[in-house]
Chain A
Amino acid sequence: MRWIAALLVAVALCGTAQAATGDDRYGGTLRLITTAGSGSFDPQINYTERYWEIFQAMYDGLVTFAKTGGKQSLTIVPDLATEVPKPTDGGLTYVFHLRRGIKFSNGQDLTVQAVVHSFRRLFKVNNPNAGTWYDVIVGGRTCNAHPEHCTLPGVVADAASNTITIHLRHPDSEFLDQLAVPFGAILPADTPDHDMGTTPVPGTGAYMVKSFNPSGGIVMVRNPYFHQWSRLAQPRGYPDQIDYSFGLSPEAQVTAVENDQYDWMFEDVPADRLNEIATKFTRQVHIHPVNWFYYAPMNVNIPPFNNKDARLAVEYAVNRESMVKLFGGNALAKPDCQILPPEMPGYQAYCPYTKDPGAKWSAPDWTLAHEYMKKSGMIGQHVTVITEVQAPFRQIGIYLQDVLNRLGFVANVKPISSNIEFNYIQNTNNKVQISITDWDQDYPAASDFLDVLFSCHSFRKGSDNSINISGFCDPAIDDEMAKAETLSLLHPKAANAIWAHVDHQITRRAVVVSLFSVAKLDFTSSSLKNFTFSGEYMFLPQLAVVK
């Protein structure tokens, strides 16, 4: 019988051993690669996807988007707050109860003071959206005018009850979204009030920065003071270490991931490698739709596109399926006629600019296009298409030039450096007639596309930051959008209906040529398992299993 006892002991030991280590998916080093860093590493300043994707694992806001896959990833869950508050006072007041026992990666405790300080700091460090998002907080506009003396009375802390109360100037259905993005990160109360540049700031997240070299890369390790309080808000993370290296071109990145030298690449896979990875590494290719579209804004204030018929001619002539081909095929992009992308709340399929107008685009209508061209009287006009040097913008620009030439314009295309193109096309001093650019969401709200891109106050003459590139301004549409925004807090369905209506109206005005909406392709190595894609943050590195 002794051997039975021994066997039982062995089994028991195995059992406890298993319980002690738990899930053996934890551990290992995740290796990420990208071409270069992207600016300041300060989470309240950096506005790039590249760093947002890792900030979400290092920092926490009062609330956050659920860090998981599928539709749930677009819901807001409580993070440093114990629950997502419902606003009171007709939407003007939010009360957040702060969790206890959370520490920063430098050992400091999370206190209500840190929260207050972080909100004030948004204004003091010139957060890009301090003047557009966060000025809804009472005292925000004064802070924008005089950041050095910013007291932000709208954010009130109560150490005794461990709560923070935020007062808004008017109800804002997107306020929680704006707290959930990395800009809303809560930083230690003693964080200096200037751009931290290349010095990482301690956070409450599951990971912290061990070393940061702006030209070499970032090494992140587990935050020793972290304990998981919410699987959805800030998961513990499987890898023990995350290495984010800089310095390879996208072509080289693809080869490196194929050779299992890196686990994931940030850049898009170049079009000529798509067939290769889809054939030889099919299971390592992941495709997910995102709210991101490519479009060609037309300047409605200068010739020739101040003439609506000329704009309509272009809308009917562009073969959107050809554009999709230039992007990489139907698996990655869908022809688009309207502004809102398919996954956006308020989306109702609508396409007037095709052979059989209805919900979907089918084919260009050259007969109609030529008719509009003749009516416009713009035949023979010189047009310059401004686009970016990098793929696929350059090729899309060349194709658009071809379309314009066939319509009767005298067109040429000018690809310029990707780094200046985006600001160049916004500045009215440059008299850009038509350009190619793209737009992706900050968070899933229709206003992020319609209001930001088409409202009158997004149009600023002579400024490098005038995101309403076409220069379109219709106060009636602005009023309708304002109505939708007020309604969205308490009556989202009604608001969505209005957003759909606004979308269709702007589409009919032919202010921009919508080209296609895209899906994100991620290419991972054979060592990476459990690839998780969030609709807000995209690839979630902390949920990848590399052991």
Chain B
Amino acid sequence: MPNSFTTDDNLLSVVNGYSDAVKHRQQLEKSGSDFSESKGEVANTIAQLHPRRLQLQVVEIIVETASTKTLRVKSLSKALPPFQAGQYINLFINIDGVDTARPYAISSSPSCRDHYDLTVKRLDSGYVSHFLLDRIQAGDHLQSTGPMGTFHYNPIFHGDNLVFLAGGSGIAPARSMIEAFAAENSGKQLHILYSSSYQDDVIFDQELDTLTAANDFLKVSRFISRANDAAEKISGRISQQDIQALVDDIDSAMFYICGPTSFNQACETMLAQLQVKARRIRIECNGPPSRPQDRANWPAAVDSQQSVEITIQGRGSFIASSNEPLLNSLERNGYSAENACRSGECSLCRVKVVKGSVYNPSEARLRKSDAQYGWCHSCVAFPLEDLEIIL
């Protein structure tokens, strides 16, 4: 019943401009569309940039070192979405019936949309890295999120003097950055201070030599933290003096830090002592703290080894330990929550705690109002007592 404006039309026709607007409306109606031609457009446009899930196949497995492999993955359907060097995807896997996931930085060039390289290092205390290294074969299918994360070059304020402090597999996003800068010839300088535990543990060792030889913008200083037979490499951990000696014009530098949590913390402390401002430091988030009980604000009265009961409203309950992130124990007990960074940042795994309390380490980038109503980021939340949560 178009144009049936009941009584209002007559009433409002005395209003100056009313009939003009009615006419305008009728004109627009003649030339307009009901938008049905753009059905699906929003979803398609977004899926090109930020697909929710990627269906991947492992096409090649490259052995980098005794403890590290690169999984080369291709998309099973559409082209892979673009990403910014430094970003990660979150890999979803099922290990012996348990659904879980881990984020991995893409180590390949962002200009390559044919495949992503995911460089995975064995973590002794790990769970997923063993599975990926020991049980994944070429041809296997994997599922992931689209590329995401804030750890990447930002031309608005990062500048040209770039210093990357990489520890172990933290070299993965650095490799992607090298490739990105090599493709654009933009005048940036990249100096990588790269620390590995042992000489035979240096990921991309040869390749970094080749890249350094081919690219004037790139400099790599290697550190071997646990061996002393490293001929041309600096031995020992990266020290404050090393940074001071190796980094040109420290005030203009932008520092990227990516490595194990202890490495990241050590680097952050050294840079702070060198008076580097927080705004010139980017740190890749790196999972939940492995020993939350060592943090200064862990409640002293709580034994981190204690068992607590987690009740999921309307669904069931299980026993977990105070030193395990809530998301992990949920997954192990057959519950799932959306997640991506698993480091407290992306907030996809928000869960509401209705009874009991959790420990939120500084990794948990909670909004003010989250804390007010008991929302936590389950990937980095540790149950301090029996909990009741809403999933």
Does B associate with A? no
Which A residues are closer than 8 A to B by beta carbons? none
